[in-house]
């Protein structure tokens, strides 16, 4: 088990009608993917998720939900943790992050 950072940006500027609906659906699909895993929200569109497969498998699954103008980053997180934020997120990460080496 390891922790992955999933950060995304679904660009909706200048989108209306069907294009805006599709962008919102992509956001909802990515959030549904994240919520299928034990996770903690780090910011508006950044999450730490508990992973049991390589990062590439998760990236492939989420990339299928995006379009060319979207941004997506999926990367492993390792300790030590240096953070300022909610205690429950800090404790969750501390309990799960591997130390390098």
23 domain-assigned: yes
User: What pLDDT was estimated at residue 13?
Assistant: 75
User: What pLDDT was estimated at residue 63?
Assistant: 87
**Domain around 61:** 2-76
pLDDT, tens only, 13-23: 777 899 899 98
Instruction: Assess contact for 79 and 97: CB atoms under 8 A.
Output: yes
> Bridge partners of 71?
9
Q: Checking DSSP bridges between strand 46-51 and strand 71-77, what pairing results, if any? A: unpaired
Residue 95, φ and ψ in degrees, nearest 5: -75, -20
101 domain-assigned: no
Q: What's the whole-model pTM score?
A: 0.85
13 domain-assigned: yes
User: Beta strands of the chain (E only): which ranges?
Assistant: 2-9, 39-43, 46-51, 71-77
What does the pLDDT average to over 29-36? 95
Q: Which helix (H) or strand (E) holds 70?
A: none
26 domain-assigned: yes
CATH code of residue 14: 3.30.70.240
Q: Tell me the pLDDT of the chain averaged across its residues.
A: 89
Total domains in the fold of the chain: 1
96 domain-assigned: no
Q: Which helix (H) or strand (E) holds 38?
A: none
100 domain-assigned: no
81 domain-assigned: no
> Bridge partners of 40?
48
Of the pLDDT bands very low, low, confident and very high (cuts 50, 70, 90), residue 47 is very high
């Amino acid at each position: 088990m390891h922790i992955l950072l999933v950060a995304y940006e679904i660009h909706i500027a200048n989108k209306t009608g069907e294009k805006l609906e599709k962008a919102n659906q992509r956001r909802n699909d990515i959030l549904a993917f994240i919520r299928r895993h034990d996770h903690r929200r780090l910011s508006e569109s950044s999450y730490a998720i508990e992973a049991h497969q390589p990062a590439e498998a998760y990236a492939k699954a989420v990339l299928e939900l995006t379009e060319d103008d979207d941004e997506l980053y999926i990367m492993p997180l390792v300790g030590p943790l240096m953070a300022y934020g909610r205690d429950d997120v800090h404790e969750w990460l501390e309990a799960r992050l591997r130390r390098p080496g």
